Amino acid sequence: MNAPRTLIIGILILAVLGSALAQSQDRYYATYTAEGSSLRYFYTPDTTDQRIAANTQDGLVEQDRFGRFVPSLAERWESSPDSKVWTFYLRRGIPWVDSKGQKTKYEITADDFVEGFRYVADPKNGIKNLSRDIRRMIVGLNDYYLDLVDIDSGKKKDMTRQQALANWSKVGVKALDNYTIQYTLTKPTPFFLSFLVMELFLPVEKEFLDSVGENFGISKENLLYSGAYYIADWQRDKQIVLRANPYYWDAGKVTVKQVSLQKIVDPTITLQMFQRGELSSATLNAEQVKALAGTKWADYVFMAEPSTVTYWFVQNFTSANPEFKAFVNNINFRKALYYGIDRVKLNELDDPYQPASILRNTVVPEQAAFDEKGMDYAEYPEIKAIRDRGNYYDRAKAQDYFKKALAEVTDGKGNIKGAQPATVDWKPIAELKVDGKLPLQMVYVYLPGAVETKRAQLFKAMLEDLFGKENIQVTLAQVIDDIFAEAVEPRRFDMLHDNFRFGFADPSAQLGRLVTGGAVNDGQYSDPEFDKLVDEASQKTILSERFKLFAKAEALFLDRCYVYPWRMGGAAYMLSKVVPFTYPRGGFGITRFKYKGMIVQKDPITSAQYEELKKKFYEEMAQATSK
């Protein structure tokens, strides 16, 4: 009975997209604000890194515009009935290309995926997002990795590094022939495909890798490319240019032939460039949205859809600042911050009209992981209760918890227990002298940019007003470019905020990285009870049992206030010439950064056009995903 309606919807969508395609532009111009850490695509801590990796390298599978997993460099795959053995069959005759877009002598084969994962699995290469859950998922991988860690640290002396490397033969990643790769897993993993859109599972050509050695990824010339684009130009702190790979296996779907990314930190300049016709898209902050109201540009402003990226505040539990270290390790102080940070107020800098709509209270996002009955993990009772709290800002509760913290952390005379006078040397970010007495001196580190500066100033005023300057004083410190390299890694912060993407379709994608020593445990806290719950959940193979334990773990984690989730990513006001919903859709790995399939029209998208396309897209997606 739905066939005629389905046909009509399909015709409407094709008509809209066909019209857009007919007038589409083959150039895309955009900006970026933070320089990537390197071109080594296996480790992408920054958005710029992820964007480059997603477009210059292809994996075995990818996601289409509806978010479905579809073939990429593998033309098909199969799994065993218990979802423990996954076999992928590669396309034949696909070449690697160089930084000039020229075909090389190398063909993409199954061995390239094996060598890519071997590179990831060697701790000397510093691929920090190889989580414990992934290591435990693949047969033999955890033992292989930990042996190398122990050898490199000097802990293991009964085996040489060469002997440990020879044990790669025991790891469940095998090339069965030139075009067949097989992964053998330790337990049933029906959501394994969602791992394969992570950068960890990308290929590398071994002969080329050996030839460049430690110079792999330090320049565009020291890379080969398997994706829709290659890096034609990379000038650090200035611009990145991607050009379409002429030998790409799916070249017909690459409508944009050149992507030009210019580093612009100032959002005012970005907006001006878009208005002059120099950019294809621009993200707007709250002040810009309000300023455009009543002008001709107001008709072109729309809100982009939220993503699975989550922003949260991080606290440094091992801070070199003795005053903050004493306070942050007190649960009542953390509870005071939990209730004292007005997240809706902070969100007004991004959405002046509906700031509560972009709140996220959990570390695992909604609509990302579903159990065997189709139930969203976010609907499990413990997690749903946290989501339903909305903005839990409560001035009275915050002050009450702060009084309790003062009673426990100080001696009643203004002296902070265990804190001695010191000079905290975090140059070039900050340097401060602390005397071990109230007021608590804490350093909040933030990224450059007008919005982030205002957010930091608002954060400072919020805490000092709530708890009193006689009790707390916040020093603001700005990094130059990279908050991870300049603050997190060298431990030069008391608090900061960062954003974290959701890697694959299981709660362990976040929770497994937040355990003691986890890849995104930037605060360096340790909670054995939380670790144990995550470990127990990870061992379960029935998804509903697994999710129940993960929900318990996440609820405990959030109740103990190790981080403070505060907003969802993606949801931002835009001006754009990009036709929405024409590019890959996905909440996992690096899918959401792909330009493949993207259509850029000559004129900006109107708000009305966006809403029309959105409505038709969701109708079509409902039909497509129900088959």
* Residue 278 host element (H or E): none
- Among 381, 477, 498, 487, residue whose Cα is nearest residue 432: 477
Classify domain 36-226 at the CATH topology level: Dipeptide-binding Protein; domain 1 (3.90.76)
Instruction: Single out the residue of 392, 358, 340 nearest to residue 285, CA to CA.
Output: 358
Q: Of 207, 208, 252, nearest to 228 (Cα)?
A: 252
| Rounded distance between C-alpha atoms, residue 484 and residue 360, angstroms | 22
Q: What is the pLDDT of residue 627?
A: 62
Helices 450-467 and 395-409, interaxial angle, to 10°?
70
Residue segments in the chain with a per-residue pLDDT below the cut of 70: 1-24, 627
Cα separation, 37 vs 54, in Å, equals 15
Domains 36-226 and 341-391+412-568 alike in fold: no
Q: What is the spatial distance between Cα 384 and Cα 551, in angstroms, rounded to a whole number?
A: 9
Domain ranges of the chain: 1-23+615-627, 36-226, 341-391+412-568
CB 348 within 8 A of CB 290: no
pLDDT (0 to 100) of residue 393: 96
- Whether the CB-CB separation of 494 and 328 falls below 8 Å is answered with yes
The residues facing 74 across adjacent strands are 90
Answer for the pair 424, 477: CB distance below 8 angstroms, yes or no.
no
Phi and psi angles of residue 170, each rounded to the nearest 5 degrees, phi first: -90, -5
Output the pLDDT for position 2: 40
The CATH architecture that domain 341-391+412-568 belongs to is Roll (3.10)
Per the DSSP assignment, residues forming a β-bridge with 182 are: 87, 174
